[in-house]
Structure 1
Amino acid sequence: MQTTSVQHRGPIPSPEQFGGYEQILPGSADRILKMAEKEQDHRHDWERRHLRWDGLINIVSLSFGWLLSLALAAGAVYCATISQPTAAVALTSVAAFGAVGSFLRGKRLFSRADHNLPSAPQPPSKPAQQNRRPPKKKR
């Protein structure tokens, strides 16, 4: 006895399955291809819009961050000119720590960018083995 297993992965059926669809309903293979093309166009459009908004949000966030840093620096200069060194140091510290934090966060996000993802799909991990103990006998 011999067992054969055939697997197929992908958004469209295998060529053999296409033939079966076409025999059952003429024109169905073309409809399946059009459906797959339409789905791909939709995904590309969605990704394009997502990337555009992501870029816009990054630019706006950077702009507001710079404006806040400039305002804090201006406040520190003002406090120094009116003989308030403690407030000037506090404002300068907040601006510096915020800038350093943003820089580190940006480096961490860049290191996890999409281009670092593996290109091939990873096999599913094996489920954790459960320890099965026999039930304890009651005395």
Structure 2
Amino acid sequence: MSPDLYEEAAIAFSHYSGPIPHPAILGLYEEVLPGSAERILAMTEKQQDFRHSQEKMVLTAEVNDLKADREEARRGQNYALAIALVVVTCGTITAALGHGWAATGIMGTGTAPVVASFINGRRRSGYRNSADNQNPSEE
């Protein structure tokens, strides 16, 4: 075959990613419709402002949820302390009246659920001691 029959072909690929079109494409928009580049930029800025406000709302809600969780945990601890104090007081009075086994039963059955709830509450909340946080690969 003669060399005149061969054609050369080249394929070029270009990729651009961003909130606004590539500057060359933006220029083409402006040529077709004057003022469109400014409108595209304004639309992008408006979308960015909206997104920032949404992210701020989400972060604010998460912070408020964490504060509420902390307050709820603190309230639960206060109630547990009050219950424990009442149980220990009742057990002490019962023991002082000479009912040792009854006092042991009152104190044991009254304080065991409080201790168990503290242990289970820490497990559910994902509590870990500092040694686990420093070396997570050892698990």
TM-score clears 0.5: yes
Identify the residue that residue 5 of structure 2 maps to in structure 1.
none
Q: 2:49 matched to 1:57?
A: no
1:93 alignment partner AA: A
Q: 2:30 matched to 1:7?
A: no
Structure 1 contact 73–92 (Cα < 8 Å) conserved: no
TM-score, normalized by length of structure 1? 0.68
Q: 2:54 matched to 1:46?
A: yes
Whole-angstrom distance in 1 between the partners of 2:88 and 2:119:
16
Whole-angstrom distance in 1 between the partners of 2:82 and 2:112:
12
Whole-angstrom distance in 2 between the partners of 1:64 and 1:104:
16
Query: Would you tell me which structure has more helix in proportion to its own residues?
Result: 2
Whole-angstrom distance in 2 between the partners of 1:77 and 1:50:
40
Identity of aligned residues (%): 30
Identify the residue that residue 71 of structure 1 maps to in structure 2.
79
Whole-angstrom distance in 2 between the partners of 1:8 and 1:55:
36
The Cα of 1:103 is off from its aligned counterpart by 5.4
TM-score, normalized by length of structure 2? 0.68
Whole-angstrom distance in 1 between the partners of 2:48 and 2:81:
49
Unaligned regions of 5+ residues in structure 2, if any?
1-8, 92-105, 131-139
The Cα of 1:4 is off from its aligned counterpart by 0.6
Q: 2:59 matched to 1:36?
A: no
Whole-angstrom distance in 2 between the partners of 1:37 and 1:68:
46
Whole-angstrom distance in 1 between the partners of 2:11 and 2:126:
58
Evaluate the alpha carbon distance shift between residue 92 and residue 100 of structure 1 in structure 2; reply closer, same or farther with a 3 A threshold.
Answer: same
Pairing partner for 1:93 from 96, 116, 120: 116
Q: How many residues align?
A: 107
Whole-angstrom distance in 2 between the partners of 1:70 and 1:25:
68
Whole-angstrom distance in 1 between the partners of 2:20 and 2:77:
53
Unaligned regions of 5+ residues in structure 1, if any?
108-139
Identify the residue that residue 27 of structure 2 maps to in structure 1.
19
Alpha-carbon RMSD: 2.2
Q: 2:90 matched to 1:82?
A: yes
